[in-house]
Amino acid sequence: MTECLFCKIANKEIPSNIVYEDEKILVFKDINPEAPVHILIIPKMHINSVQDINESNSNVISHIFAIIPKLAKDLDVDEKGFRVVSNIGEQGGQTVKHLHFHMLGGRNLSWPPG
Ligand code: AMP
Ligand code: ZN
């Protein structure tokens, strides 16, 4: 059995507040939101981070990005804008070692990030 937190969420062993789901991906609300809209988009299959994307698994990444415009519309951030970000490794601030894209919106987001 996997010890990965987001694999457990994908397998419904741990509950989450699901926003969207299909056979390849799960989208759920971040437990510690940094903005009025803060969701996490994950592939159901375990990939450690962006660093482990390759030609054989990248179809799930294009699927994620094909769903983002629909999510933005559903969450009503499509017109005002939003941000999609993935933290990678220690200096990138990645705390969960299962690839995820944060989608943040609903307020003005500063740049550059801290
Ligand atoms: P990162 O720091 O980029 O690895 O992002 C991990 C994110 O997962 C953080 O924003 C956490 O708030 C979020 N998180 C951790 N545990 C859970 C959980 N059980 N349900 C939803 N979000 C979570
Ligand atoms: Zn995992």
Residues in contact with ligand 1 by the CB-under-6-Å rule are 5, 16, 28, 30-32, 40, 87, 93-96
Contact 44, 24 (CB under 8 A): yes
Position 101 confidence tier, pLDDT thresholds 50, 70, 90: very high
The closest ligand to the CA of 10 turns out to be 2
Q: Assign a CATH topology to domain 5-105.
A: HIT family, subunit A (3.30.428)
**pLDDT tens column, 18-72:** 999 999 999 999 999 999 999 999 999 999 999 999 999 999 999 999 999 999 9
The structural domains of the chain, with segments of one domain joined by +, span 5-105
In the block, tokens 């299959």 appear at 45
Q: pTM of the prediction?
A: 0.98
Q: Which helix (H) or strand (E) holds 99?
A: none
